[in-house]
Amino acid sequence: MNSKPDTFAHTGVVYLVGAGPGDPELLTLKALRLLGEADVIVHDHLVSAEVLALARRDAERVFVGKKGGGFCCPQNEIETILVHLAFAGKKVVRLKGGDPFIFGRGGEEAEALVAAGVPFEIVPGVTSALAAAAYAGVPLTHRTHSSGVVFLTGHEDPKKADTAIQWEDYAKLGATLCIYMGMKNLETIARRLQAGGLAAETPVAVVQSATTSAHRQLLSTLGEVALVSEREGFGAPAIVVVGEVAALADKLAWFEAAKTAAR
């Protein structure tokens, strides 16, 4: 990957593009333009069909999706695909759910492109935590309740001795915690946050499939959220928001209200 193959005459370009949380109207104008210009769309599982439908009709589509228990294209293979497409002179959109630089491994792909001498651009997208909170009626910051926000991944196994996330420490920040990919380990995460001093009564919002027609949400507490989520059948893709601001979903859940009114 460090040198350009002799068989390719010229180099194309790769755009690492955030597809947002699912609703195509939340795409940036630049993302929309690039979808209409790209020769190839290399996309993840979480990119919605509605967003993919906006691509140029004759564009090649390459699925490199990652989903628990299903097809998973190894990261190094994704990087190799991007490099070879660029060396073939293609204009490539690497389309990622949310934002490419927030738990999207966009940094790794950008490093691979640099190492190979491939031109690239980063096109930010609306990351899932921002969209999920906004559509659930949860202001992530609030003058009364929270002056800080932390984005965390729950994908690691919190039982590992060498886990990078010390949940007990984050419990002491007094900030809103937005947890991506945390449903599988939610019980352990909630228990460790409580061990760090966060009260069991702390409000928690869980938002599944935010901004899409499958959007749904629940409001619970840190002590009960794992049990309630399991009982209600909540699962990935979902964002978990922990903090006093989550309680505001009780009166600010505009998207749920609009869905109910439309029935």
Count of structural domains within the chain: 2
Q: Are residues 114 and 164 in the same domain?
A: no
Look at residue 2 and tell me if it is in a domain: no
Model pLDDT, residue 17: 98
Q: Are residues 198 and 75 in the same domain?
A: no
10 Å Cβ neighbour count for 263?
A: 4
To the query of whether residue 44 is one of the catalytic residues in this protein, the response is: yes
Strand segments, DSSP code E, in the chain are: 13-18, 40-43, 60-63, 91-96, 120-123, 149-153, 176-180, 203-208, 216-221, 238-242
Peptide bond into 237 cis (omega under 30): yes
Give the model's confidence band at 1: pLDDT under 50 very low, under 70 low, under 90 confident, else very high. Answer: very low
Look at residue 27 and tell me if it is in a domain: yes
To the query of whether residue 259 is one of the catalytic residues in this protein, the response is: no
Determine if the pTM surpasses 0.85.
Answer: yes
In this prediction, residues 54-65 reach a mean pLDDT of 95
Dist. CA 186–CA 241, nearest whole Å: 12
Picking from 123, 155, 186, the residue at the C-terminal end of a domain is 123
Look at residue 4 and tell me if it is in a domain: no
Among the listed residues 44, 90, 96, 99, the single catalytic one is: 44
Indicate which CATH number applies to the domain containing 57.
3.40.1010.10
Could you tell me the two tokens for 79?
């990087």
In this prediction, residues 105-131 reach a mean pLDDT of 97
Model pLDDT, residue 262: 82
pLDDT digits (tens, 9 = 90+) for 24-37: 999 999 999 999 99
Among the listed residues 4, 30, 39, 66, the single catalytic one is: 66
Picking from 123, 140, 158, the residue at the C-terminal end of a domain is 123
Domain that holds residue 49: 13-123
Dist. CA 90–CA 197, nearest whole Å: 53
Q: Are residues 134 and 65 in the same domain?
A: no
Indicate which CATH number applies to the domain containing 167.
3.30.950.10
